[in-house]
Amino acid sequence: MDKINIIRMVEQKIERAISDFGMENKLNGVLIGYSGGADSSALLFYMQKYAREHGIYIAAVHVNHCIRGDEADRDEEFCRRTCKSLGMPLFVERVDVPALAKETGRGIEDAARFARYRIFRSIVESNENLRHIALAHHADDNMETIIFNMLRGTGTRGLTGIPPVRGERVIRPLIYCTKSEIIGYCIANDIAYINDTTNTDVDYTRNYIRYEIVPRLTRINPSPEVVLSRLSTILRNDDVYIQRQALRFMQEHEITSSCSRSLIAEQDPAIQTRLIRYMYDNYASLIQKEKRDYSPLDFNHVYSVLRMITGSSTHAQVSLPQRICAAVHGDSFFFMDEEEHFEKYNRQPEFHCNLTFGVTKIPEINATISLLPSPDAECEKRGRNVYKIFIHEEIAIDKIKGNIFVRSRQAGDTITVNGMTKLTKKLYCEKKIPLDERSLLPVFCDDDGIILIPTVAIRDGVSALDGEKAIHIYYAFGGEESD
């Protein structure tokens, strides 16, 4: 195909995407995401041409992720030179993505994406000449996203791929174009671009899909990006319709982040899952002022919540991202801050039992404690096989001060571990003990304070060493025998 036909074909695809997805009213005051690669360079070229023809204001933004050292600095300088030669305003931001990934617990790819979108929004919101964000995602990106979401486990929304228009701000004019077409467009127009060497690193999930999985798909269909683009369009239309029905239902019943669980249980499953997502999003928007990073619900989250709603438990909760929980109490279903829910609903069972050799039942938490002068292999075997929580600790007899007793946890509890006296509340958090399980872990004490909290901590110096006379503590919770 000659240069003129390549240019015409690509620009016709861009114009069709603009028309199909109603981008016309968003093509003014546009901030263009510009990495310097072929995709964003093609978008920058097209948008500059469009801006001249229609008299609109555009600018570019380059985010240096500080991942590739000198190469990242090279990319930044390339973008600066290119925009300067074009007379186009350029915003440049640097983000230490590896540090951000470590701080937030995200993967590198996810942290980089999170940083970019945060920067894009910040620039648009602080500049009156900018209203929209144009990104260079194309048909191959859409295909890779669909495959990634499918293999991760997703619903209809995940199979719709990358939205051509996202919210009121983000547009993707290249969404119908394939990668090879974009490369051809750059060559035909003498558009300079640079290559990111990490794009060939198959340790990154998307690169693995691109270089290992997609080539195998072409054995079945030579243009998988085209058929998957068609699939995403069909599913997107279906999803939009169902979303509208769910939103109409919420409006009719004045639902925000809480409602009757029976009301949800009566609906079609397609409506149920969307109601859960919308209610979660509504509650999440209320806590944004607390600077919690937004995290969407995945498939497992949604169906865990749905099972709780339609289940038989009178009181239950499911932990979700952003320290939010979904909860049912009677016929009420709602979203709430985890700590707030715990303080309001999880009443701490109170108990205090002196321990002697033998078996002690703690009915308040439906648990069993065995204090034995020697190890019991049968107790150990039965405990490991039967109970949800089971521990065996050996405590040196001569390290115990006075009597041994067990009690419920109390505010301000501390224990000495690794030479430091720590609040047990902090240790629960460090060990990632769920809020609803903390009250099920009894606190073992002697007259000097806390000796042991199962699965959480043991006091310095009390563990029995080889040759020391020991007390064997067996704690079991969650099995039939503790009922």
Q: Which residue has 């929004």 as its token pair?
A: 121
Percent above pLDDT 90 for the chain: 63
Three-class SS state of 179 = helix
If we measure between CA atoms, which residue out of 398, 405, 396 comes closest to residue 447? 405
**What is the C-alpha to C-alpha distance for residues 386 and 374, in angstroms, rounded to an integer?**
21
352-482: in CATH 3.50.50.60: no
Range among 268-272, 367-371, 386-390 rated most confident: 268-272
Strands 457-458 and 443-446: unpaired
Strand order across the 30-33 sheet: 90-94, 58-64, 30-33, 132-134, 170-171, 165-166
Tell the CATH superfamily of the 3-229 domain. HUPs (3.40.50.620)
pLDDT of residue 224 exceeding 90, the answer is yes
Q: What is the pLDDT of residues 344-361, one digit of tens each?
A: 776 678 899 999 999 999
Of the pLDDT bands very low, low, confident and very high (cuts 50, 70, 90), residue 388 is confident
Q: Whole-angstrom Cα distance, residue 33 to residue 115?
A: 13
Q: Where in the chain is the domain with CATH 3.50.40.10?
A: 352-482
134 neighbors 29 (Cβ within 8 angstroms): no
What is the number of other CB atoms lying within 10 angstroms of the CB of residue 162?
Answer: 20
User: How sure is the predictor about 36, in pLDDT bands with cuts at 50, 70 and 90?
Assistant: very high
Q: What pLDDT score was predicted for residue 435?
A: 67
pLDDT in tens, 61-81: 999 998 878 888 999 999 999
Q: Looking at the predicted structure, is the pLDDT value of residue 216 above 50?
A: yes
Express each pLDDT in 415-471 by its tens digit: 999 999 999 988 988 887 876 677 778 999 999 999 999 889 999 999 988 888 999
As a 3-state breakdown, the chain gives helix, strand, coil percent values, each rounded to 5, of 50, 20, 30
pLDDT of residue 27: 87
Statement: residue 481 has pLDDT above 60: no
Q: Average pLDDT over the chain, rounded to whole?
A: 89
Give the global pTM.
0.65
Instruction: Report the share of the chain in percent with pLDDT over 70.
Output: 96
Domain with CATH 3.40.50.620 in the chain: 3-229
- In whole angstroms, give the CA distance from residue 119 to residue 63: 8
Summarised one tens digit per residue, pLDDT across range 167-193 is 889 999 999 999 999 999 999 999 999
* pLDDT, tens only, 242-288: 999 999 999 999 999 999 999 999 999 999 999 999 999 999 988 76
Alpha helices in 348-474 (DSSP H): 377-386, 424-430, 435-438
Q: Please give the pLDDT value at position 483.
A: 43
Would you give the end-to-end CA distance of the chain in angstroms? Answer: 76
Kindly tell me the burial class for residue 290, based on how many C-beta atoms sit within 10 Å of its own C-beta (0-12, 13-18, 19 or more).
Answer: exposed
Alpha-carbon span 360 to 470, nearest angstrom: 18
Residue ranges of the chain assigned to CATH 3.30.465.60: 253-345
The CATH number of 253-345, from 3.40.50.720, 3.30.465.60, 3.40.50.150, 3.90.1170.50, is: 3.30.465.60
The residue behind tokens 């069993």 is 368
The rounded distance, in Å, linking the Cα atoms of 464 and 469 is 7
The mean pLDDT value for 325-340 works out to 91
